[in-house]
Amino acid sequence: MLDRCSVGFFLILSWLVEGLNASAGDANPQYRSCVKQCEETGCVRQRCFPNCKFSGVEPLYMQWKKWDCQSDCRYFCMLDIEKEKELRNDDPVKYHGKWPIKRIYGMQEPASVAFSALNLAAHFHGWVSFFVLIYYKLPLKEEKKAYYEYASLWLIYGLLSMNSWFWSAVFHSRDVDLTEKLDYSSAVALLGYSLILAILRSLNVRDEATRVMISAPLIAFVTTHILFINFYKLDYGWNMIVCVGMAVTQLTIWAVWACISHHPSRWKLWFVVFAGGLAMLLELYDFPPYQGLLDAHAIWHATTIPLTYIWWSFIKDDAEFRTSNLLKKSK
């Protein structure tokens, strides 16, 4: 729920902003002139780019290793203009919806890449520890199946979470059409699945037929939406509405369930919901990057790392709680 679910409201707004192509920086005539001249000459001052003079089609792995002419021209023109502004003590501005962040080893947003990778690692740790708890520490039924009815659902959730954070790292490393769609699609898939899981767990749905009846319409909707943004039109506004709707709905479900369920670990659920909400305020207070590296979006990614550990801790507590109750009833 926490990770890309929390992406829900304010991160979707950031996606919308990133998709827009009109910011103060790229509206600057000096910047536009610099980029135009660079694309014609292949150089920004004394720095020249061989990609601007390359004719023909390079292999994909070669294209991935280096930036294309337009990207290099935009990046180095931006750096030069921002250096001049820094000397005048002027504040930095956004270019094409993004803050002027310095590349490291070719990564477009290195801090966001690093924190996305750490979120992936946190989910991997949570997923593995949950698997070990279910199948090696807690009692099993005679057919080696877990007593906890939602074990397989949470294991799938972990895989979708790791997949989502993987593509988040790739997207922040290189923002192109393919990585953008993979990032958005994986986030939508996780949001949709998390909503299904929130409904099933909060309503304590254990019957397989009922689970299918509840899940089928949502799966169909999410699948249709993913196909729409990939093969018809990547509509940022519509994508925002869909993701915000799913995120807010499931956050509400978990918050209400925590209030009425009297779950022994409900405080962890409350903490994740409210702390995650406070952390998302960083997306509203969108400040320029510190030292050209650390912006509000990257810091927001950093805050989800400890919350992920608490979230998986709640999931494991829930497994122990349900297993204990089921064993008491079976005696």
Nearest in space to 299 (alpha carbons), one of 275, 279, 274: 279
pLDDT digits (tens, 9 = 90+) for 13-37: 444 444 444 577 888 889 899 998 8
**Beta carbons within 10 angstroms of residue 276's beta carbon:** 23
- Output the average pLDDT for the chain: 85
Class of domain 3-20+107-330: mainly alpha
The pLDDT of residue 227 is above 80: yes
Strand ranges (DSSP E) for 180-239? none
Contacts of 224 (CB under 8 A, 6+ apart): none
Instruction: Give the mean pLDDT of 9-13.
Output: 44
The pLDDT of residue 261 is above 50: yes
Number of helices and strands in the chain (H, E): 12, 2
**Beta carbons within 10 angstroms of residue 182's beta carbon:** 19
The CA-based dihedral angle spanning residues 200, 202, 206, 210, taken in that order and rounded to the nearest 10 degrees: -50
% residues pLDDT > 90 (the chain)? 47
Higher pLDDT, 54 or 186: 186
Nearest in space to 42 (alpha carbons), one of 7, 11, 17, 77: 77
Please, are residues 298 and 112 in contact by the beta-carbon 8 Å criterion? yes
CATH 1.20.1070 domain locations along the chain: 3-20+107-330
Helix (H) or strand (E) holding 24: none
